[in-house]
Structure 1
């Protein structure tokens, strides 16, 4: 199974920039999307030939044009339910396809010292509970948390800020420690720094590789050793970018 995960930063804008053509060229079996920002009809229209695939989509029901996650597969997908009590924010969708449970996640950005940060912590805690119950699953998506200093270029400048708070990083410590989940980007990417997956559109962040590694594929202890490869689909040049995120690509064997 070849699995591609991408924060598209709006599927309609990504499609106009060539993102759908890029996804098609990967010859993936399963595609996880985040920040779709579209209705069901808008998503299918933007996907072009991919609209014929089996599709699960969770748009935001509380803020139109915001968030939204989706799963596409060449095979049938059986949805496996919400994360926690609510799935109306378009941040989580999961299903079983070809015998593997896959989730697409878009974690809140958060803001230190606000209720938005409290909500982010609750979401990360709910993810941990889900992961503990599903050691044979895979999670793909935008965590909006850089785990360690090697996962963010300007880590000193982001101490105390959302995305690099010790309280956020502690959840990832638990996932990769006590729960035994594996961050495939780090396993295959070495000790770092990077490889980064998000760069601001502004300034020279992309050209200087001043990024964050927040787009991940996480594998439960029961399935991690089935992964045979992982890569970051970084655009060759700024002009070729179709999102402010790079897609991540992983391959699993049966």
Structure 2
């Protein structure tokens, strides 16, 4: 079994203080992907940020305290790819890939457009330029797991208050249509939904009101996998017993 965990930490140092790394060491994960580290590598001096038994890679944003992604892998990569080769997005620390034997694993932090039109335009530009990259990945001989915070709830089942959010970033018709094309036209697979088709399965909750207490959430964290992995998905879990972030860790087990 090959276990991959993804978490938007909303600050990796904050998640560490809340016990994330102690929990992680009990999970026997092969790869752990973190998004929104909100730190520079030189600031991560505590030994917890270099977990025993893992090769650790960080891709920071240029702007301090912003964005950033990381990957911990038990298996030494054959290659590490930092960024997409697009400076607008690479400067924000949004993409990190490790290439293992026959498998690539990506930690992705897709832009949010919730702060206004300017950032929504950035998000649309990212989507436009990311799709060709995904198509290239699909043409490789190896399989791929692109996991992380995609900042889009795909279907009505993936968001509690879908009626009231149809004009809000993260549930816009254009964003959902892009996901439709990704899965239906290009053949990528939402690994979670292979084994769990239940409603009320969310990975992010607003800090406003009592969203967490009432499970008023969004499923915006994914493992998006190449078609060859569809039949390899065995189990999945959204861990909610301890709150490390405004997101919950998403675990998927693959038969690899």
Query: C-alpha distance in 2, partners of 1:46/1:90?
Result: 22
Unmatched 5+ stretches in structure 2 = none
How far off its partner does 1:24 sit?
A: 1.2
Partner residue of 2:168 out of 143, 147, 161: 161
Q: Give aligned pairs, total.
A: 248
For normalisation by structure 2, the TM-score amounts to 0.91
Partner residue of 1:175 out of 171, 182, 185: 182
Match of 1:67 in 2: 67
Query: C-alpha distance in 1, partners of 2:148/2:238?
Result: 13
Q: CA RMSD in A?
A: 1.8
Map 1:139-154; keep pairs closer than 5 Å.
Answer: 139-154=146-161
Query: C-alpha distance in 2, partners of 1:161/1:94?
Result: 30
How far off its partner does 1:45 sit?
A: 2.2
For normalisation by structure 1, the TM-score amounts to 0.91
**In the alignment, structure 1 residue 41 sits paired with structure 2 residue 26:** no
- Name the SS of the counterpart of 1:123 in structure 2: helix
Q: Would you say the 8 A contact 2:111–2:151 is kept in 1?
A: yes
- Name the SS of the counterpart of 2:147 in structure 1: strand
**In the alignment, structure 1 residue 188 sits paired with structure 2 residue 189:** no
Deviations along 1:182-233, one digit per CA (max 9) or x if unpaired, are 101122221x423101112333211111000001111111222222221111
Match of 1:247 in 2: 249
Unmatched 5+ stretches in structure 1 = none
Query: C-alpha distance in 1, partners of 2:47/2:221?
Result: 22
Match of 2:127 in 1: 124
Q: Would you say the 8 A contact 2:69–2:95 is kept in 1?
A: yes
Q: Would you say the 8 A contact 2:234–2:253 is kept in 1?
A: yes
